[in-house]
Structure formats: structure tokens, C-alpha cells
Chains A and B, each alone.
Chain A
Amino acid sequence: MIGRVTTQMTSADLLANINASLDRIDTTQEELSTGKKINQPSDDPYGTSLALQLNNELGGLNDYANNVSDATGWTQAGNAALSDITNAVQRVRELVVEAANGTNSQADMSADADEVNQLIDQIKQDANTQYNGQYIFSGAATSTAPYEAGSNDAYAGDNGSVTRTIGPNTSVAVNGNLAGVLGTGQTVAGQPAGDGKLLNTLRNIADDMQSGNSGALSGTDLSQLDTNLNSLTGLSANLGAVTDRLQMASSRIQSLQTADTQVLSNTQDADMAQTEINFSTQQAALTAALQAGAHIVQQSLMDFLSG
């Protein structure tokens, strides 16, 4: 214990205490105004490191969420095109079944053939569907239209796939291999490629209708068409599965975002109620220090000496 207490000691101590009090209030005020308890790395170095990491993770999750919504756009556009194509093929099948009866007149058969050719154009148009300016059934060559209108059925895309990253080291292919179902049809007018794919079958059907070959229509054409329809349904199912997967990924990303945001908030956000209480306590302490100081520093023995 210090024996003598001198005037300078009292005032220096008072000043130091008031300064310390102000310093604490300053820190609390910064926390209150920013709403954060980590305002510089030195406030909590480990917390800072965690906050940076979590912010980065949240950025990554946001990217994944964007990728998922982009991928969903692709698969939805794909599904719409595929169901349109399926409808067209169903219509062709009705025409084929009707023609296979052999009761239609040649004029009716020619009209049917024209309709089939128009449906072929519609199918190729569906195959040329674009999402966000990119052809979705062109493999990786997204800036090239896969099919051209008219009698040339050659596939202009490639076999590449378009993938979207929807999680760490997790990516999905979002483009269906429609060219594998449609095939190359006829690359030279009037000469079907013979690959047995949908366009080829449709061209054969149109030719058989034109020539009134109801035997071929009821035989190979119909069974070929059913096979093609099957693979089309398979492709639709595939894309549907991808859509389901994307939905699951989306909800997983959302729950991760919620969890990360919560941890981040616990790490860097100030507990407002607690901070408010601290603030008023510190303010009361400062007022008390100032009042005490005003009394102590003013008084000395001189106040009590007479004359």
C-alpha cells in the first residue's frame, strides 16, 4: 500500500480511470453502431478467420444456388421440348395406325404424308430450343443450332455434355442426348440414312405414305416408331431425374446457407441486448467517476483552514 498520496497521483489516477472508462464505452459504441463484435482482426483473430471462411463458404453456396437455378432452367426447357416432341410422335403414330388399315384413299395418304413432314419440321424446331441464348440439344457446341429446317436432317452439334457444378466436386449434365434419339434422318434429300433413329423412321413413314405402302406402315414402320418412342420416353425420364436431383440439391444448399449464416452471426455479430446493457453500465460508471473526480480533486486541506 502506498503511504503518501499526492495531488498529482490523485489526478493522474482519476484521468487514467476516466480514459479507461471512455475507451470501454468507445469499444461498446463501435459494437452497437456496426452491430458486430469483430470490427478488426485483433478483436478476435480466431473468430476473424472463422468469419472469413464462413463468408467464403456462403459465397460458394450462393454460386451453387445460382448454378442449380441455371441447371433447372436447362432441364425445364429440355423437358418442355421433349414433351412437345413426344406429342408430335404420338400424332404420327395415330396417322400410321390409321394408314395401316389400308382403307384410306391415296389422297388421304398424301395429306398424311404432308402432315408427317410438317411434324418432322416441328420436332427439329423443338430440338433447336434455346435457353439463355444457348442451344440445349447441341452437346457442348451451344452456339450451333443442332438441326436446320428443310429436308437436310444432319446433326450439326457434338457429343459433348454441358455440366453444372451443384456442390463440392458434384456436377450434373443438364443436356439430354436428343441427337441419340433423333439420329441423322436424311442427309441427302430423299435418301434416309438408315440409322433407325426417329427422324429416319419418320422420313420412311412419310415416303411409305406417299407411295401407299400400307404393309410397311403396319409392319416395320410402326414397330420402329414404338422403339423410337421408347427411347424418347427414356430421355424424358432421365431429364426428369436430373430435375429431381436439382431440387434436392437446392434444398440442401438452402439448409447449409441457413446453418452457415447462423454460425457466422454467432461469430461476428454483437449480442445487442447484452451490448446495450454493457453500454448503460459503462455510462453509469463513467458518470460516477466524473462526479467523484469533481469532488476529490476540488478539495484539499486549504478548504478547511481559516484565514
Chain B
Amino acid sequence: MTIPSFSGLNTALSGLEAAQAAIDTTGQNIANADTPGYSRQQVDMTERDPLTIQSLSNVTGGGSQLGQGVDITTISRVRDQFLDVQYRTQNTQTNGDNTSSTLLGQVQAALNEPSSSGLSSALSNFWSAFTALGNDPTNQGALQAVLGAGQTVASGLNTLGNELTTLESQVTSQYNSLTDPNTGPIASDANQIAALNTQIAQAQVNGLNPNTLFDQRDQLIDDLSQYSNVNVTQQSNGMVNVSFGNAATAAAGGTTDPTPLVNGGSVNLTANLTDANLSGSGGTVGALLGLYDSSTGQGKIAGYLTTLNGVTNNLVTSVNNAIATADPSGATAPPFFTATGTTATTIAVNPSLSTATAPYTEAEAQAAGALRGGSADQSYNAFVTQIGSDVQSTQNAQQTAQSLLSAINNQRQSVSGVSLDEEMTNLITYQQAYQASARVMNAIDETLNTLVNQVGAGI
């Protein structure tokens, strides 16, 4: 058997095509160097089946195989699925810590401690005012000073209590808007992932490798992972199932999720966006529920409010008791705080005092002033310390999570990201490959020219 005259042209052509595809892909990579979620692509090439040439010599027998060029098998994305899993886990953690530390920071800011305008200073002034009244119990000015200081304490507690209540409702409305099955971002992500699933399955049936759709879907799952834990299960038709919240944690442990948030081309929103599935999970949504869960009334902020109410109760009872029991003659003085207001939002100075004349004796005022450093001060101090420690530990956790997230993101970028230097090197390589293939084609053309036009030209 002889070698077909034009086979070399085809070989050169395949080289040209492959080099062109590679140059185009490099162009695509460079164009998307900064596109979020983009994975760099590469042209997978393979040798074309060779042409077997019967040996012309009887000595060696067999024959030889003549290469026929290159085939482009596929254009694939470079991506490590395990890094995706790690990234999403860390993203869940980081966003949860972010949410906690931001909102707890707001609680801390409401305290305004340590400062000369915080509640601890107000309490200190309150005790001083009572002590001064003890030195001069009939002095109306000293009484007004006590009333003013008491009102400052009461309104300071009112404000703090209201801030905490407002924060609770903020947390709830944030949670509700995130988990809304119609307009929430979780629902939106889930719906888009399901739609992409359908398109990907369709494309794969047609034998395509939809890199762009894969990138988009991965990015949506990344986005979804900020809200709560996600667990991705690959399906045979190219679709993925995504479990969400506590169900994702269970699924990662090997339990089959009967109602994944994204189930192929469909979604299960109402089954997943429940308190039961999200409470105690990670991410923004889990953190919000940890701060305040409106269905149970529990959470960190609710705990703070309870502690603050304890502080208030302590203050009201200790002041009123000290006044009631101070006078040895057993004469009853009016309570300083209204007895019914024992929570942070209801504490108030007894209104009848504003018109009273010398309502407290020296002993009563001194007894109230002697409460400085007592249980009310101590419990408030402990309250501030508790919030301070909580904020500090969530901030530390948030910083650690953030640096871990960027480390994992770096690893992921190292695999999937576009390096312009690398692309430039590739570009030169492929450009030269293209030029070389063209040169080969030129050589064959000249050879054929010789054959066709020169051989036997004299005839």
C-alpha cells in the first residue's frame, strides 16, 4: 500500500485547527481572568488514529503506522471538586461568624461601656446622689438630684431593653426575608440551580460539555453555602442534588436526604426552609436563629434581655428594700422605683416622689447610697463582661474563619484561576504551533506543486 498524496494536508489541517482552538481557549481564559466563578479551560487533545502502511519490504514484514494528526476531544474546565466542598464548608462557617459578630457588635455598641455616659456611670452617680441626700435629707435640691440620677438609670435601662428588643425583631425580619420561599435569595439560588440542572442534562444528552453552565451552577452553590450548610450529590445525568441546613449535615454523614433543597430539576423549598431544619445549622441563617429564634423566643439576644431584666429586678428590689427597712422606727417611706416595673423596659421612678417633700430620712438615704458595689452593680458588671467576652470570641472566630476561607480560596484559585503569565506562555506556544502547521501545509503544497506541475512537464 502506498501513502495517499493528500493525507499530509489533512494532518497539517488538524494541527492548524487544534492550535486555533487552543489559541481561542487561551483568549477565552484571558478575557475571563477576572470573571467571578470562572474556571480556566483547556483543550484536551489526542492523537488521531494512524494510517497503517503495508511494509514495502518483505524483510521486515508487518508495516508501519503513519500519524494522521491531532483530534480535539473536548474543551474541559480545570477544577477540583474536593476544594469546592472545603470552600463551601468554610464559607458557611465564615458567614455565620460574620453575622454573629456584626450583630453582637451592635449589642456591645448599645452598651456604650466603658464610658462616662454608660449605665455603670449612671448607677455610680445615682448612689452618690443618695449619699449626698443622706447628708442633708431635707434639702430639696439634693432630692431633685437623686430623682434626676434615678431617672437617668431608669431610662438607660429602658433604652438598653428596647435596643435588645429592636435587635430581636431585626434578626427575625432578616431571617424571614432570607428564608422567604418566594422572594428570598435562598429560593432564588435553588430555583436557578434547578434550572441549570435541566439545561446541563439536556446539553449532556446532546454530547456537549457545558463548561459555562457548570461554572454558573458551582457559583450558585457557593452563594447558597453562605446561608447554611450545603451538601452536593452528583447524579448520573449531570444534575446535582443539593441538601441544605441540618439535612446537609446529615447527608454529609451518609444519611439519604429524602427532600433535598434542589432535587435535579425541581426544588423542595417549604420542606427545607423550616426552623427545625435550619436551627443549629451554620451560615447566616443558622447564626440568626442562634441569636434569636422567634418561634421559641430563645437565642443569645433573648438571653441577654433575660440577664438585663435580672439586673433591673435586682436594682429595683434592693433599692426599695433598703429604703423600706432602713428606718429603725419602722416608719414607711415611699418606694423609689415603682414596684411593678421590674424589667428593663418597664423600670420607672415612683412618680409621686416628684411632688414629695423630704420623703427620705438620713438613715434611708444613706442605706440606699450604701448599695454602691452591691448586687445591682455586680450583676450589671457581669452582664457587660459576658457580652464583651461573647463579642471577643465571635470576632476571633470570625477572623480565623476568614483567613481559612481565603487560604482555601487561594488553593482553589491556584487550580482553577487564570494566570496571565501562563496564558501568555501558552499563547506563544500555540501561535508557534499554528505557524509550524501552516509551514507544513506550505511544504506539502510545494511538494504537490512539484509533482503536478513539474513532473512530466515536458510532455
**Given A59-B124, A164-B135: A6 touches B369 (CB 8 Å cut-off):** no
User: Closest approach, in angstroms, between the C-beta of B382 and any C-beta of chain A?
Assistant: 8
Q: Which residues of B contact A7 (CB under 8 A)?
A: 33-34, 417-420
**Chain A, range 26-67, C-beta contacts under 8 Å to B:** 38, 40-46, 48-49, 51-53, 55-57, 59-60, 62-63, 66-67
Interface string of A228-239 (1 = CB under 8 A from B): 000000000000
- Which chain A residue lies CB-closest to B390? A42
Q: In terms of DSSP, what is the predominant structure of the interface of chain A?
A: helix
A222 on interface, CB distance cutoff 8 Å: no
B236 on interface, CB distance cutoff 8 Å: no
Cα–Cα distance between A140 and B124 once the two chains are bound (Å): 27
- Contact between B131 and A67 (Cβ–Cβ < 8 Å)? yes
- Contact between B385 and A46 (Cβ–Cβ < 8 Å)? yes
**Chain B, range 365-394, C-beta contacts under 8 Å to A:** 366, 369-370, 372-373, 377, 380-382, 384-389, 391-392
Instruction: Name the contact of A41 in the complex, choosing from B138, B369, B384, B419 (C-beta under 8 A).
Output: B384
Pick 21 A–B contacts, CB within 8 A, sort by A: A2-B414, A6-B417, A7-B417, A8-B34, A41-B114, A41-B387, A45-B388, A46-B385, A49-B382, A49-B385, A56-B124, A60-B124, A62-B128, A63-B128, A66-B128, A66-B131, A70-B135, A134-B138, A165-B134, A300-B424, A302-B424
Instruction: Name the contact of A59 in the complex, choosing from B127, B385, B389 (C-beta under 8 A).
Output: B127
Interface string of B97-138 (1 = CB under 8 A from A): 000000001001101011000001101110110011011101
Identify which of A3, A60, A62 gathers the most chain B CB atoms within 10 Å of its CB. A60
Identify which of B131, B138, B386 gathers the most chain A CB atoms within 10 Å of its CB. B131
- Contact between A301 and B421 (Cβ–Cβ < 8 Å)? yes
Instruction: Name the contact of A165 in the complex, choosing from B136, B366, B381, B413 (C-beta under 8 A).
Output: B366
- Contact between B127 and A63 (Cβ–Cβ < 8 Å)? yes
Identify which of A40, A67, A164 gathers the most chain B CB atoms within 10 Å of its CB. A40
Known: A55-B114, A300-B420. 14 other contacts (CB 8 A): A4-B422, A7-B417, A8-B413, A12-B406, A12-B409, A40-B113, A41-B114, A41-B388, A42-B392, A52-B380, A59-B125, A59-B128, A163-B366, A165-B370
- Contact between A42 and B108 (Cβ–Cβ < 8 Å)? yes
Instruction: Name the contact of B373 in the complex, choosing from A3, A60, A70 (C-beta under 8 A).
Output: A60
**Given A42-B108, A42-B392, A42-B395: A56 touches B372 (CB 8 Å cut-off):** yes
User: Closest approach, in angstroms, between the C-beta of B56 and any C-beta of chain A?
Assistant: 47
Interface string of A61-104 (1 = CB under 8 A from B): 01100110010000000000000000000000000000000000
Cα–Cα distance between A268 and B120 once the two chains are bound (Å): 15
Q: Which residues of A contact B108 (CB under 8 A)?
A: 40-42
A5 on interface, CB distance cutoff 8 Å: yes
Q: Which residues of B contact A60 (CB under 8 A)?
A: 124, 127, 372-373
Nearest 3 Cβ contacts at the A-B interface: A41-B388, A6-B417, A45-B388
- Contact between B385 and A41 (Cβ–Cβ < 8 Å)? yes
Q: Which residues of A contact B382 (CB under 8 A)?
A: 49
- Which chain B residue lies CB-closest to A13? B410
**Chain B, range 136-155, C-beta contacts under 8 Å to A:** 136, 138-139
Cα–Cα distance between A59 and B116 once the two chains are bound (Å): 12
- Contact between A268 and B114 (Cβ–Cβ < 8 Å)? yes
Q: Which residues of A contact B274 (CB under 8 A)?
A: none
**Given A8-B34, A165-B131: A41 touches B420 (CB 8 Å cut-off):** no
Instruction: Name the contact of B131 in the complex, choosing from A13, A43, A63, A305 (C-beta under 8 A).
Output: A63
- Contact between B414 and A9 (Cβ–Cβ < 8 Å)? yes
Q: Which residues of A contact B163 (CB under 8 A)?
A: none
Q: Which residues of B contact A274 (CB under 8 A)?
A: none
A132 on interface, CB distance cutoff 8 Å: yes
Cα–Cα distance between A300 and B424 once the two chains are bound (Å): 9
Cα–Cα distance between A165 and B395 once the two chains are bound (Å): 45
- Contact between B114 and A51 (Cβ–Cβ < 8 Å)? yes
Q: Which residues of B contact A67 (CB under 8 A)?
A: 131, 135
How many contacting A-B pairs (Cβ < 8 A)? Answer: 154
Instruction: Name the contact of A16 in the complex, choosing from B120, B124, B369, B406 (C-beta under 8 A).
Output: B406
Q: Which residues of B contact A243 (CB under 8 A)?
A: none
A138 on interface, CB distance cutoff 8 Å: no
Q: Which residues of A contact B111 (CB under 8 A)?
A: 41
- Contact between B373 and A8 (Cβ–Cβ < 8 Å)? no
- Contact between B138 and A143 (Cβ–Cβ < 8 Å)? yes
- Contact between B410 and A2 (Cβ–Cβ < 8 Å)? yes
Q: Which residues of B contact A66 (CB under 8 A)?
A: 128, 131-132, 135
- Contact between B124 and A55 (Cβ–Cβ < 8 Å)? yes
**Given A41-B385, A42-B391, A59-B125: A3 touches B414 (CB 8 Å cut-off):** yes
Cα–Cα distance between A140 and B327 once the two chains are bound (Å): 13
Cα–Cα distance between A242 and B372 once the two chains are bound (Å): 25
**Given A45-B388, A48-B385: A8 touches B417 (CB 8 Å cut-off):** yes
- Contact between A305 and B424 (Cβ–Cβ < 8 Å)? yes
User: Closest approach, in angstroms, between the C-beta of B318 and any C-beta of chain A?
Assistant: 15
Q: Which residues of B contact A165 (CB under 8 A)?
A: 131, 134, 366, 369-370
- Contact between B373 and A57 (Cβ–Cβ < 8 Å)? yes
- Which chain A residue lies CB-closest to B129? A63
A162 on interface, CB distance cutoff 8 Å: yes
- Which chain A residue lies CB-closest to B396? A42
Q: Which residues of A contact B411 (CB under 8 A)?
A: 2
Cα–Cα distance between A301 and B429 once the two chains are bound (Å): 14
B425 on interface, CB distance cutoff 8 Å: yes
Interface string of B23-35 (1 = CB under 8 A from A): 0000000000110
- Contact between B377 and A142 (Cβ–Cβ < 8 Å)? no
Instruction: Name the contact of A301 in the complex, choosing from B132, B370, B424 (C-beta under 8 A).
Output: B424
Cα–Cα distance between A38 and B108 once the two chains are bound (Å): 13
B275 on interface, CB distance cutoff 8 Å: no
Cα–Cα distance between A41 and B108 once the two chains are bound (Å): 7
- Contact between A48 and B127 (Cβ–Cβ < 8 Å)? no
B362 on interface, CB distance cutoff 8 Å: yes
Cα–Cα distance between A51 and B369 once the two chains are bound (Å): 21
**Chain A, range 166-191, C-beta contacts under 8 Å to B:** 171
Q: Which residues of B contact A49 (CB under 8 A)?
A: 381-382, 384-385, 388
- Which chain A residue lies CB-closest to B112? A40
B397 on interface, CB distance cutoff 8 Å: no
Q: Which residues of A contact B128 (CB under 8 A)?
A: 59, 62-63, 66
- Contact between B418 and A6 (Cβ–Cβ < 8 Å)? yes
Identify which of B124, B372, B411 gathers the most chain A CB atoms within 10 Å of its CB. B124
- Contact between B415 and A4 (Cβ–Cβ < 8 Å)? yes
Cα–Cα distance between A79 and B217 once the two chains are bound (Å): 93
